[in-house]
Amino acid sequence: MKIKRIVVGMLETNCYLLYNGEEMLVVDPGADAKKIIGEIEKTGIKPKYIVNTHGHPDHVMANREVEERTGAKIIENLQEGEKITVRDSDLRIMHTPGHTKDSFCLKGELFLMGGDVLFVDGHGRTDLPGGSDAEMKETIHRLKKELPKETLIYPGHGEPFTIDEWKGDY
């Protein structure tokens, strides 16, 4: 699986292209559809799906334009345990509330698309509507328990890091 990080918009949100052979998944096209589509075109691959880690505007705003220009299908109503397949790689959906009620991570082989759950030195805000500090704590405990230490976290903002390198508390 190849992973390309594209930084978009004023909040410097990470949009990711995950591709394997001739299949591609777009995670969090949050702004700047033109830039994202340009990067997609460079790969020569037609994306199959668009997924959002949560519904905040800086993670979803280019959904429609990327959908219209590439024909990728937006997957909505993600569910815990559900599987998204990119050629022969499976991504498992983990429901990870705390930043919002509808926050999800996508777990691949030794990597995690983390959205706004974990950042290298902390975690996503819990003071916005639907946020909960107690749920964030539970989510982080779960991730630390279930993910191997070398798992690379691709966050919604900032550089990737391993869960072992995570410097936040909880």
Nearer Cβ to Zn ion (13/70): 13
Inter-residue long-range contacts of 70-76, CB under 8 Å, 24+ positions, other chains counted = 70/26, 70/37, 70/40, 70/46, 71/46, 71/47, 72/24, 72/26, 72/46, 72/47, 72/48, 73/48, 73/49, 74/49, 74/50, 75/49, 75/50, 75/51
Half-sphere exposure (Cβ direction) of 88: Cα atoms closer than 13 Å: 1
Q: How far is the CB of 99 from Zn ion (least distance, A)?
A: 6
Q: Which token pair is 46?
A: 């037609």
Residue type, 43: T
Number of residues counted as binding Zn ion (CB under 5 A): 2
Nearer Cβ to Zn ion (61/147): 61
Binding mask 32-71 for Zn ion (x = CB under 5 A): ------------------------x---------------
Q: How far is the CB of 54 from Zn ion (least distance, A)?
A: 6
Nearer Cβ to Zn ion (116/135): 116
Whole-number Å distance between alpha carbons of 6 and 39: 8
23 lies in the site for Zn ion, by CB under 5 A: no
Q: How far is the CB of 51 from Zn ion (least distance, A)?
A: 15
Q: How far is the CB of 88 from Zn ion (least distance, A)?
A: 31
Q: How far is the CB of 8 from Zn ion (least distance, A)?
A: 14
Please, which of residues 98-127 interact with Zn ion by CB under 5 A? Answer: 116
Phi, psi angles (nearest 5°) of residue 2:
-100, 145
Residues that bind Zn ion (CB under 5 A): 56, 116
